[in-house]
Chain A
């Protein structure tokens, strides 16, 4: 089945710097790759997603890139702010015949220092 690896597990940046989180997946049939942000005491919330027919997607300060050949995708946050501090999860769709399943990475705890 699908396996998703996420790195780094923790990331500390200064306010205003950029942050990059990387994920790799194993199933070439996966075609949907969301990123979730989980703030303290809350459930994960979708912040951006990308489908396999697109190489890059941007929404204000966040962007996601996808390399299907290498089977990896990345989240880029520019001009980080303290409110970006949270745990971020990548995920990949479960591949062929897996319906609406998502396989999640291990999570990255991002800390933005003022």
Chain B
């Protein structure tokens, strides 16, 4: 079974803090994705990566950055957290050339 794990299920941070969300997959997938999920808006793509050290912006990259130093790990970074970044964050991975994505359980981030 594909397993995608996320470092925290719940996280509470203060405005202005630097926040790291970690995602690890165990299927040797080339592709990894970060989404945020908000009611009525579905899943919106923040950043994705097709290979180690490669990253591409998704639809809503503003206020976020990412890091992929190892194939199995994809980190989402909020350089200076703001209240409008309170959301559910979902990580996913997928094989190269294939569209199917496997999701982690999500991290619910609250920024106070």
Contact = CB atoms under 8 A, between A and B. Distances in A.
A46 B2 CA distance: 12
Interface size class of B (residues with CB under 8 A): 20 to 34
Nearest to A107: B42
A114 interface: no
Contacts, number: 58
Contacts of B42: 4, 6, 89, 104-107
Interface in B57-112: 58-59, 90, 92, 94, 96-106
Contact of B48 (A6, A101, A103): A101
A102 B40 contact: no
B94 to A, nearest CB: 5
B90 A99 contact: no
Nearest to A5: B42
B105 A102 contact: no
B50 interface: yes
Contact of A43 (B41, B50, B59, B103): B103
